[in-house]
Amino acid sequence: MQRILITGANGYLASLAQLYNAGRYEFLRVSHSDVDFRDPEGVEAFVRAADFDVCLHMAADATTAHCEQDPEGTRLVNTESAIAIARACHELGRQVVFISTEQCFNASPGAAPFSEEDEQASTTRYGQQKMEADAWIRENVDDYLILRFSWMFGLAMPGVRPSPNILTNVMGALRSGRPTVFRVHERRNMTYAQRFAGQLPAILGLPSGAYHLASQNGRTTYETARLVAERLGCPVAEVDRLILPDESTYAEHPRDFRLASDKIRAAGIELGSFEEDLDLCLRDFGLGA
Ligand X SMILES: NC(=O)c1ccc[n+]([C@@H]2O[C@H](COP(=O)([O-])OP(=O)(O)OC[C@H]3O[C@@H](n4cnc5c(N)ncnc54)[C@H](OP(=O)(O)O)[C@@H]3O)[C@@H](O)[C@H]2O)c1
Interface with ligand X (CB under 6 A): 8-14, 31-32, 37-38, 58-62, 77, 99, 101, 149, 151-152, 163
- Burial of 217: CB neighbours in 10 Å, binned 0-12, 13-18, 19+: buried
- If the CB atoms of residues 103 and 234 are measured against ligand X, the closer one turns out to be 103
Closer to ligand X by CB, 152 or 264: give it.
152
Report the residue number whose CB is nearest to ligand X.
Answer: 11
Q: How far is the CB of 140 from ligand X (least distance, A)?
A: 19
- Closer to ligand X by CB, 130 or 185: give it: 130
Q: Closer CB to ligand X, residue 61 or residue 173?
A: 61
The residue among 9 and 141 lying less far from ligand X, judged by its C-beta, is 9
CB of residue 80 to ligand X, shortest distance in Å: 11
CB 166 within 8 A of CB 224: yes
* Other Cβ atoms closer than 10 A to 80: 22
Q: Across-strand partners of 171?
A: none
Q: How far is CA 239 from the centre of its chain?
A: 27
Rounded distance between C-alpha atoms, residue 86 and residue 106, angstroms: 25
Shortest CB 241 distance to ligand X, Å: 28
Burial class (CB in 10 A: 0-12, 13-18, 19+), 72: exposed
Centre a 10 Å sphere on the Cβ of residue 3 and count the other Cβ atoms it contains.
15
CB of 43 to ligand X, least distance (A): 8
CB of 177 to ligand X, least distance (A): 26
